[in-house]
Amino acid sequence: MSVKGNIHSIETCGTVDGPGVRFVVFTQGCPLRCQYCHNPDTWKVNDGSEISTDELMSRIKKYKSYMKFSGGGVTMTGGEPLLQPKFVKEIFKRCKKEGIHTALDTSGFIPLDNVKEVLDYTDLVLLDIKSFNPTLYKDLTGVSSDPTIRLAKYLSEINKPTWIRYVLVPNLTDKEEDIRALAKFLSTLNNLERVELLPFHKMGEFKWEELGYEYKLKDTPSPSEESVEKAVKIFKEEGINIIDQ
């Protein structure tokens, strides 16, 4: 069965969205409006390009040898891929038949029922937690953190391998008490393989300007080395395997 989906772009040899060399599909549409988003052009659901699972799989299979040699695979990211669960499920289902590793990069802000049908064919979840402080999370993204935390707990219940991604933003997500609260929560999960600490950057600022959006963080610097080291130390104190990029 071929299913059609709406995508923003494709990266054929990605190295930062899961293990190994990966075929990365950026889906179109996102329910979050993160202040530091570097792909605001993925927000609108109806933008992007339509593609069928047949066509996408034919492109994916051309890179199968690269993925196999490097221990890589296919990553569905966005935007928010779980806005198109049937499309993602079909791609992952076909990948599994081809012996290709599958990774799902999600904000978790999605009904849990939409996730379950995809997870059967997902090898690794990259879960983005913007903040463990619910008030700050709402300010940062425009939505509630509840669905994301609910998904994190569910992934632990079913023991689905998971990497957590956390963006360190000066004067927003670098507060010690918030980082420690997140680390303590993550230490209760039995499926967590690692946390990726991602220092804030302004690489997407020009896109905001092109789209006519107000970029609130234009005066925010990248975090200092000291700030990064402090955050890493907090996660390590809670027994978390932390990787800073």
C-alpha closest to that of 164 among 229, 227, 222, 242: 242
When the candidates are 3.20.20.70, 3.40.50.300, 3.30.43.10, 3.30.565.10, the CATH number that belongs to 4-165+189-198 is 3.20.20.70
Alpha carbons within 13 angstroms on the beta-carbon side of residue 176 total 7
- For 4-55, the pLDDT digits (tens) are 999 999 999 999 999 999 999 999 999 999 999 989 999 998 899 999 999 9
Give the model confidence (pLDDT) of 64-87 as tens digits.
Answer: 999 999 999 999 999 999 999 999
- Domain residue spans of the chain: 4-165+189-198
Which tokens in the block code for residue 152?
A: 């994190």
The answer to whether residue 240 scores a pLDDT higher than 80 is yes
Query: Looking at the predicted structure, is the pLDDT value of residue 1 above 90?
Result: no
For residue 244, pLDDT over 80 is answered with: no
> Per-residue confidence at 2, pLDDT binned at 50, 70, 90?
confident
**In this structure, what are the phi and psi dihedrals at residue 223, rounded to the nearest 5 degrees?**
-65, 150
pTM exceeding the 0.85 threshold for the entire prediction: yes
pLDDT in tens, 166-183: 999 999 999 999 999 999
For residue 77, count other CB atoms closer than 10 A to its CB: 24
Q: Which residue has the tokens 């071929």?
A: 2
- Using alpha carbons, list the distances in angstroms from residue 17 to 26, 79, 113: 11, 14, 24
pLDDT of residue 203: 82
Band of residue 114 on the pLDDT scale cut at 50, 70, 90: confident
